[in-house]
Amino acid sequence: MNGILYGVGVGPGNPKLLTLQAVEVLQKCSVIAVPDTEGEKTAMKIVKNYIKGKEILYCPMPMSRDLELVGSSHRKSCDMLETELLKGKDIAFITLGDPTIYSTYMYIHRMMAEKGYTTKIISGITSFCAAAAALNTSLCDRGEALHIIPASYPDAQKLLMFEVNKILMKSGKKLSEVKERLKSMDLYKGAQMVECCSMENERIYRNLDQVSDDSSYFSIILVKDK
């Protein structure tokens, strides 16, 4: 009997924000799949106390918009996962935040489901929910709407035009451009940011003027509707 592939959301950074279900799945799976971006293994640090002695599978996940490179890496990762699933091993593929929000894991999830393997998603606390908590504010009240916007992508400006509360993610190295765009659209005043939310180096910014343009990739900007 083939194993089961679990996509496990491990939350935004603080191990205390792991869900009980995530811990249960991590403990029962014999293989832990780790996204390998060739950088720091943040998700692995979060779960380290629950995966001691387990087999670790490093799956290539380059941080790139080169679709050919990314596609090749996804296929390689699927081949690695398939080898273990065919042995009847359950796999927990760890991913920051929640697997359904801008997670590269979902590409793997869909590919493995299409191959006929059993795949399950274990929800995690999202970075933007944790950021709202850190800012001691709500994301939306009553009839207010909330848009989650990939800030460094081409359609961001069009999405920012809607009169709703906004979460800006994936600013990356274009944070300075994002700030200028917010200024040009009269959305800058009152915008707040949390960098490395719930991690040891968390920083809260009530004013974007305080934010360095080389801030961490793990940065969430909240813009409330005027």
What tens digit of pLDDT does each residue of 82-121 get? Answer: 999 999 999 999 999 999 999 989 999 999 999 999 999 9
List, run by run, the mean pLDDT of 10-residue segments along the chain (226 residues): 97 96 98 86 93 94 78 92 97 96 94 97 96 95 93 86 92 84 91 92 92 81 85
The yes or no reply on domain 5-122 and CATH 3.40.1010.10 is yes
Count Cβ atoms below 10 Å from residue 213 Cβ, excluding itself. 12
Whether this model's pTM surpasses 0.85: yes
* Cα-based distances in Å from 216 to 12, 13, 196, 199, 202: 13, 13, 7, 12, 10
pLDDT of residue 39: 65
Give the residue extent of every domain in the chain. 5-122, 127-223
Q: In the CATH hierarchy, which top-level class contains the domain 127-223?
A: alpha beta
Report the b/e string of 13-42 with b at 16+ CB within 10 A: beeebbbeebbebbeebebbbbbbeeeebb
